[in-house]
Structure 1
């Protein structure tokens, strides 16, 4: 199942792999602004002679055509950065862009897939099928995958595979569980309108601060008392904007939060309950409520066949000890939109190493990766494609 030529190629290109990752890390671009990253990918693929087309406005869809007839497997890497200030100022490859940083590892994903593509391209005549390469923008705002699907990224594809570097796992460990992996991630906004007035005359007002506070305290019971405990769910209020001055009773309050779960029925139920709770809390005080609910990513549900193939590839390529049992996360991933179209799976590759200070949480200003994990991720991309096409 494992192709030795791929393994040797990835090892030979390890220095280049690190160099590409560091270049991308130092030049972060936010969602839908990845123009330089897109140009770099196109130039790299062109040098390899790999056919590609630029997506709009950013992103790249490429294809390695095998020398033999067969299926088509897609490999996906995201490439956008975050609005996070890098705190690792001493790194020689620290971000050059103030307030922008690759704080989630997408620089690693892109570099891993480029080197995987280079290795696969060298054995393309042996490939019984084709390898689609998807370099995706805007994962961090959960709109990139959906747009790439619209632009034909998975047309004619039989299976899709993605990887995420994971700082909560030891370096070089590989996890790919069957079933739920990442949760659906939705955003809600609740706007309460009361009646403002002087802080000394509350009898003439409807205090939006009290309304909003009551809602925040009560809405937690949606999960704790109306959702089956065997269906994991998280409801978090992350932002509350209310009031203008110390002696003015607030007329308006705006609350923003997120809902995470794995089960579609639970998702529907929580959305409905948010509306019910907001309206009833507002009615108690004589205020009004408006709920806006935006459905972001779907839950990432790994196909059984694909997940087992990842585990098989990982054990054969890196040893049985490389396999790791990582629990599903309530984090969101728009890779789910590819899985809505074709079967596939999403794997985690560990990059956490306390000796290298790479166990910081994703999206933190001190996030960094153990670069020893790059070769593991790159080879996993390439070996999975080889194994799938040869199954």
Structure 2
């Protein structure tokens, strides 16, 4: 049976990989997932989602836990060279959400096979729009977490070998915030820069000055990354542009550090712009908060992983972000890393995770769900609920 399911999951993963869809456009992906679940006799919840699927397996009564997979792709042209490469130009599953979806589909199939003996129910969230950080909100607003006592999710980790598992208590993934800085000066002929206020030079100095935020404005013991990822200004080679726009991201784990960053960033850019005779305006866009794992469930997930044969590691802090954090603000749970052994990392056009990671992860999450339900059932009569959340 395991061999048949493993082959099916790889086939499903390749189908998803060949036809990726961007955030909130996962219509065909939703249809595929729905069909695979229906073929297995798994019931879907009628939550009125535009894209995405929520399925449920097991007894209708409590306890109830949730497993989450994300289903969207990225606007990246694939260069992996695999036979099932993306058929959609400029779109690729470069983050491995096709793997995540296949893993949780496998968990659903395995749980369905022992549905009659489950000590509760398992809700599987196939979430859209993780890459633009609004998919979790859609599912929460639709009621996907209603009556859920614990939630679990994963991300494949290309830097870890297949068969490796990692998570940690408390903060794991970072707060994600985006900023835009508009620098305004005075346009001029490139041959006569003294007649203008050079926004290109001002913007360049702002980029350099921003690197002093983590090194000179906060403790070196704090995790803080400031990255400028886009600079746009001018439209010809011999004119100093009137404006230049910078865009980037700030990643943190400490809430107090996160709260201070916009004010300090404003002070820095205002100071540099003023010195150059220009003006700078900051637009700040808060993103999802940090992923903060519940200690009980982090330890629980590690124990189950060890019992399942994984090499268990203590995960390092990650500067990447995940809107799974929004689920953890609603209910206890944990987010974990599963080794996928890709030479190229996440969001790279040659990213190619090992498919050998899929079935063991599916079996792990089915086992985790079963044991978590048993633990919750026991806690109702033998232990205080607070210990789990």
Task: State the TM-score, normalized to the length of structure 1.
Answer: 0.92
Alignment of 1:156-305 (within 5 A): 156-305=147-296
Specify the alignment match of 2:366 in structure 1. Answer: 382
Specify the alignment match of 1:19 in structure 2. Answer: 11
Question: How far 1:199 moved relative to its partner?
Answer: 2.2
Query: What is the rounded CA distance, in whole Å, between the counterparts of 1:334 and 1:116 in structure 2?
Result: 21
Matched, 1:326 2:318: no
Query: What is the rounded CA distance, in whole Å, between the counterparts of 2:6 and 2:227 in structure 1?
Result: 41
C-alpha contact (below 8 Å) 2:68/2:152 kept by paired residues: yes
Q: Which runs of 4+ in 1 moved over 3 A?
A: 9-12
Specify the alignment match of 1:66 in structure 2. Answer: 59
Indicate which of 21, 28, 40 corresponds to 1:36: 28
Query: What is the rounded CA distance, in whole Å, between the counterparts of 1:42 and 1:295 in structure 2?
Result: 33
Matched, 1:79 2:36: no
Query: What is the rounded CA distance, in whole Å, between the counterparts of 1:156 and 1:229 in structure 2?
Result: 42
Question: How far 1:66 moved relative to its partner?
Answer: 2.0
Q: Relative to 1, partners in 2 of residues 1:309 and 1:12: Cα closer, same or farther, differing over 3 Å?
A: farther
2:287 partner SS = strand
Question: How far 1:70 moved relative to its partner?
Answer: 3.0
Alignment of 1:300-311 (within 5 A): 300-311=291-302
Task: State the TM-score, normalized to the length of structure 2.
Answer: 0.93
- Segment drifting more, 341-350 vs 149-158: 149-158
C-alpha contact (below 8 Å) 2:338/2:361 kept by paired residues: yes
Specify the alignment match of 1:346 in structure 2. Answer: 335
- Segment drifting more, 284-293 vs 152-161: 284-293
Question: How far 1:324 moved relative to its partner?
Answer: 2.1
C-alpha contact (below 8 Å) 1:10/1:119 kept by paired residues: no
Question: How far 1:242 moved relative to its partner?
Answer: 1.9
Indicate which of 359, 362, 384 corresponds to 2:346: 362
Specify the alignment match of 1:3 in structure 2. Answer: none
Question: How far 1:54 moved relative to its partner?
Answer: 5.6
2:139 partner SS = helix
Question: How far 1:47 moved relative to its partner?
Answer: 2.1
C-alpha contact (below 8 Å) 1:10/1:378 kept by paired residues: no
Specify the alignment match of 1:147 in structure 2. Answer: 138
Query: What is the rounded CA distance, in whole Å, between the counterparts of 2:2 and 2:262 in structure 1?
Result: 46
The two structures, once aligned, show a CA RMSD in angstroms of 1.5
Query: What is the rounded CA distance, in whole Å, between the counterparts of 1:122 and 1:249 in structure 2?
Result: 67
C-alpha contact (below 8 Å) 1:31/1:140 kept by paired residues: yes
C-alpha contact (below 8 Å) 1:55/1:148 kept by paired residues: no
Matched, 1:371 2:351: no
C-alpha contact (below 8 Å) 1:27/1:95 kept by paired residues: yes
2:260 partner SS = helix
C-alpha contact (below 8 Å) 2:47/2:142 kept by paired residues: no
| Cα distance per residue 1:236-255 (max 9 Å; x no partner) | 11111122333212210100
C-alpha contact (below 8 Å) 1:10/1:379 kept by paired residues: no
Question: How far 1:232 moved relative to its partner?
Answer: 0.7
Indicate which of 96, 113, 128 corresponds to 2:119: 128
Question: How far 1:55 moved relative to its partner?
Answer: 4.6
Gapped regions of structure 2 (runs ≥ 5): 376-389
Q: Relative to 1, partners in 2 of residues 1:232 and 1:278: Cα closer, same or farther, differing over 3 Å?
A: same
